[in-house]
Structure 1
């Protein structure tokens, strides 16, 4: 039984022109560059192969790091028939045909490794369709995704698969790939040292992108070696991978937030710039920066929130790109400000107490009594007007009767909260004296 899904992608006449990336495709797993954390002898795939027990897998990683290649080589190493489909172009009728062919092969004694590219693009019902065929051994599923599987794939599918994270290639990995490409081409690239490094950086961790760039450079007719300026004039820098609604968005805002919290203005400015160059909306950044001031600085520097709001307002008045400088200055201010989450922690603790105590009323002595009936009920009886008290502090109880007084706000010994802590200690002593 034959079908377009059974056609081997390398079943092409040897005389046909082939892209460099295809010519350099590894023939064995040992030839794969990078991904030691997955392929090493003690890594997940290394252990699976040595034990002869390969499970269904989900490869999660950026483009151009070897997901398809590794899947194909796994099929070779385990004598499974390799079938590749893309979730973008495959519907339910095609999936049924794939499963029927896999059943036919299984009946003839051969297993099927089904590689599904962009598997996260299948909806829930389509993902559920894989489950019975995985469970009865008709297919061994290897899915590839650039999106976080925790958010994009069904729990049932994840429970039957092992998620392996493939990482963007390092500059050292890309250099090895460049050397392999030069050996295949039979000549060195016409680049000096800095230009060669710039070429590797342009690939942004994507091996396929690097080989495409190398193929372009190798086709140039030049005398001598090009420098970085000549290279960047001839080649357009590859756009940074950034999806405003995907993992990169959340990863980078997390990096920015934690750099601010960690009092590192250089790292904070770097991640801020990374998000801007990726196309992030500065208004989103303004909102998140203001949140950082409230959450991580709070009363240790009450001015921090004002700085953020003024920067936000400045951006709204100036627009891009000038207004982005005001936000950058706010980021720098926050990174260097004293840090405290005491206000944030106190708020969460107060919310827990409020939920726990339910509908407990305030004590009667702090209730207003605008009517005679309310006065007769004791509303306002015994209330001590703080301005009439010594030091302007009565020390009365303001929590519900019978409720143990909680200590919600715990200021730190940093910034302005040092002063607040002194005041809190002072009032606590007065309260103890006058209770």
Structure 2
């Protein structure tokens, strides 16, 4: 964290030169607003911050954005660019006594002819009374407040404080911006020992957080690797290994595997045989019940929507009846899912969607489908242009529901078996309506 306040009002801003042994992220902090990556909509000549700096006068502001997007750097650079004295507090570490010291120093500096930029990190962590304490000093001009938050200011900050500050929204860093950061790191430290694919995977893993990305890069540099890492090796290097499966009961896992594959292969006779083998050997019937539920969702899904209720009902029946009567309910469920039409479309859709979610991170949904519970959010365009599907003749608007930087994806592909044949017809119908309305 930055010093509580600049030691000398004559030093307009806090020192921007990091120590030689500082973390890589600190050594790569931008030295001017023009070097800030990924926030041109604010720091560029036509952005709110760019215009303020050009005019030489700042208004109080709240910088709202994800972690690692440059909020702290922008605050420090604003002080330097406008010749203001820089003071900083963190709501995590500071209390009322710290704030009083900062405000007193700001008042002294003002009498000496120096303006103070007060940067408040994690400002949303101050309670309502503490937030109200800023108001007199903001109104009197003793401080120009620059607050940083990762939380929605509409919910976390007092209305009185919001009315005196402009909310500026920082964007998560996209792949191009993160790649630019890595370019700067490599210019300073040398090439990262990564293949092109591993470098792309490293960028994707950062989820828009530049500080996290540089921390991971520093970890790789510190290892002094002899050969470049591919994506698999990078994953092993940066993450903890998954524990090896316990094989003390190998026969147990062989039998449950056989049961699962017999059900998947639509062989009710073999499935019943392996279930009998396990129950006769003393297997916990509820373990088998849980596995039947898994088979219903993994291998049948919407090809027969009744498969899951059958298995859940069998589990409850066993809990109610106990052994041996309750085991018949498990047999019935086992036979039902063994003869049911099969589809792993839902299972494959889940894997594809989870993969896309990890790769794309926290992309913002399109503004038309996010709620606007506050006036500020409505002014920012939240919910603008949303079409209520029930108001259309077909009960289907055909709107786009995907983030701006992510084209529509296809995760779920129903098969031509069982109920999913009907699902396929519905999807085809909606696709046709979408095309007609473009």
Give the TM-score taking structure 1 as reference length. 0.54
Q: CA-to-partner distance for each residue in 1:97-149, whole Å, 9 max, x for gaps?
A: 11000000000000100000010111111111111110110000000001000
2:220 pairs with 1:207: no
Shift of 1:413: 4.5
- For the pair 1:116 / 2:116, whether they are aligned, the reply is no
Alignment map for 1:138-177 (pairs within 5 Å): 138-177=142-181
Cα distance, 1:13 vs structure 2: 8.8
Match of 2:225 in 1: 222
Report the alpha carbon displacement of residue 152 of structure 1 after superposing the two structures with TM.
0.4
- Which residue number corresponds to residue 22 of structure 2? 18
1:100 matched to 2:100: no
CA separation of 1:326/1:138 partners in 2, compared to 1, >3 Å: closer, same or farther? farther
Given that 2:38 and 2:173 are in contact with CA atoms closer than 8 Å, whether structure 1 keeps it comes out as yes
Aligned to 1:34: 38
1:29 CA displacement: 0.5
How far 1:52 sits from its partner (Å)?
2.4
What does 1:299-338 align with in structure 2 at a 5 Å threshold? Answer: none
Output the CA distance in 2 between the equivalents of 1:54 and 1:157: 16
CA distance in structure 2 between the partners assigned to 1:410 and 1:104 by the alignment? 62
Tell me, yes or no, if the aligned pair for 2:178 and 2:210 is still in contact at 8 Å. Answer: yes
Q: Matches of 1:94 and 1:74 in 2, distance apart?
A: 23
Aligned partner of 2:5 in structure 1 is 5
Task: Kindly report which structure 2 residues correspond to 1:45-60, keeping only aligned pairs within 5 A, or say none.
Answer: 45-60=49-64
Report the aligned-residue RMSD.
Answer: 3.5
In structure 2, do the counterparts of structure 1 residues 311 and 107 end up closer, same or farther at CA, with 3 Å as the change threshold?
farther
Judge conservation of contact 1:311–1:327 (CA < 8 Å) in 2: no
Q: Displacement, 1:225? A: 1.9
Alignment CA distance shift 1:411-1:189 (3 Å): closer
> Residue 232 in 1 paired to residue 212 in 2?
no
Report the CA distance shift for 1:33/1:124 in structure 2 as closer, same or farther (over 3 A).
same
Residues 312, 327 of structure 1: 8 Å contact kept: no
In the alignment, the residues of structure 2 paired with residue 158 and residue 311 of structure 1 have an alpha-carbon distance, to the nearest angstrom, of: 54
Q: 1:218 to 1:38 in 2, by over 3 A?
A: same
Contact 1:67 1:144 in 2 (8 A): yes
Aligned-pair distance for 1:412?
Answer: 4.3
Change beyond 3 A, Cα 1:103–1:413: closer
Which structure 1 residue ranges, 5 or more long, are not aligned? 238-302, 318-324, 333-408, 416-435
Change (3 A) 1:11 1:144: closer
Runs of 5+ consecutive residues of structure 2 not aligned to the other structure? 8-12, 241-301, 317-342, 351-389, 397-438
Conserved 8 A contact 1:75-1:113: yes
Secondary structure in 1 matching 2:223: coil
* Length, aligned pairs only: 261
Aligned to 2:296: none
Q: Distance between the aligned counterparts of 2:21 and 2:391, measured in 1? A: 71
- Match runs of 1:381-420 below 5 Å: 412-413=393-394
Deviations 1:272-309 (A, max 9, x none): xxxxxxxxxxxxxxxxxxxxxxxxxxxxxxx9xx98x9
Aligned residue for 1:64?
Answer: 68
Cα shift readout 1:325-349 (whole Å, capped 9, x = no counterpart): 99968x99xxxxxxxxxxxxxxxxx
Rate the CA distance shift 1:312–1:194 in 2: closer, same or farther, 3 A. farther
